[in-house]
């Protein structure tokens, strides 16, 4: 029987099981079968599953500035997307009037005429880590709106995007503007 899974793709990058389709010279595979196998061969990755971390989970920004979090992956990958969603924080949440409309539009969000807390939108966005790249950023621009407001907070959480993945939470605060 032809082995359907082979461990070790020997490339030092992590990727979900890579499919190689086409004609494979079976003689090189464990030396147990001769002849040719035509079809799909699944190579199981031997690299450790990357762990996503953030340099500093709590960030602050003033109006007109940016909330910015620096992310890193413990292992290079063949390319992954990390998905974030807005979750309800403690305290007053940033709403759709606190960030630029163009930024929301880029996320596919068309804000309602009455400002809504970001977590009420049930929206998500992603940060891409291309092949071999282990750093990325999440950036939220903060509008300068001329409105007197108290401290406001936004909370982001990652989706489960890999086996055994632990969610990562980011918190951003825009302190009261005087
Ligand atoms: Ca505001
Ligand atoms: Ca506000
Ligand atoms: Ca303000």
Q: What is the pLDDT of residues 128-148, one digit of tens each?
A: 999 999 999 999 999 998 889
Q: In tens digits, what is the pLDDT along the chain, a chain of 178 residues?
A: 445 555 566 777 877 655 444 333 333 333 344 444 455 556 567 777 788 899 999 999 999 999 999 999 999 999 988 889 999 999 999 999 999 999 999 999 999 899 999 999 988 888 999 999 999 999 999 999 888 999 999 999 997 655 566 789 999 999 986 5
Distance 64 CA to ligand 3 centre (A): 10
Distance 61 CA to ligand 3 centre (A): 12
Distance 61 CA to ligand 1 centre (A): 11
The string of DSSP letters for 123-161 reads: -EEEEEE-TT--EEEEEEE----------EEEEEEE---
Q: Which three-class secondary structure string do you get for 17-71?
A: CEEEEEEEEHHHCCCCCCCEEEEEEEEECCCCCCCEEECCCEEECCCCCEEEEEE
Distance 89 CA to ligand 2 centre (A): 14
CATH pick for 52-174 out of 1.10.357.10, 2.60.40.2030, 3.10.20.30, 3.90.110.10: 2.60.40.2030
Instruction: Point out the ligand nearest to the CA of residue 142.
Output: 1
Q: How is the chain split into domains, by residue range? A: 5-44, 52-174
Distance 97 CA to ligand 2 centre (A): 6
List CB-based neighbours of ion ligand 2 within 5 Å: 98, 149
Distance 178 CA to ligand 3 centre (A): 8
Instruction: Tell me what pLDDT residue 142 has.
Output: 97
Question: Is the whole model's pTM more than 0.85, yes or no?
Answer: no
Distance 138 CA to ligand 1 centre (A): 19
Q: What is the pLDDT of residues 13-39, one digit of tens each?
A: 877 655 444 333 333 333 344 444 455
Specify the pairing of strand 80-87 against strand 124-129: antiparallel
Distance 99 CA to ligand 3 centre (A): 11
Distance 149 CA to ligand 2 centre (A): 6
């Amino acid at each position: 029987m032809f082995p359907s899974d082979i461990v070790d793709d020997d490339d030092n990058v992590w990727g979900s099981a890579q499919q190689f389709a086409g004609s494979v010279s079976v003689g090189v595979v464990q030396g147990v079968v001769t002849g040719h196998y035509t079809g799909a061969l699944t190579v199981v990755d031997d690299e450790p599953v990357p762990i996503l971390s953030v340099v500093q989970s709590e960030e602050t920004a003033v109006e007109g500035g940016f909330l910015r979090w620096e992310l890193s992956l413990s292992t290079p990958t063949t390319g992954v997307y990390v998905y974030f969603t807005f979750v309800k924080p403690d305290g007053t949440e940033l709403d759709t009037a606190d960030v630029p409309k163009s930024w929301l539009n880029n996320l596919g969000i068309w804000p309602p005429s009455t400002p809504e807390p970001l977590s009420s939108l049930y929206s998500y966005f992603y940060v891409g880590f291309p092949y071999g790249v282990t750093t990325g950023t999440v950036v939220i621009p903060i509008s300068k709106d001329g409105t007197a407001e108290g401290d406001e907070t936004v909370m982001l959480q990652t989706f489960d995007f890999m086996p055994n993945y632990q969610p990562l939470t980011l918190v951003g605060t825009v302190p009261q503007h005087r």
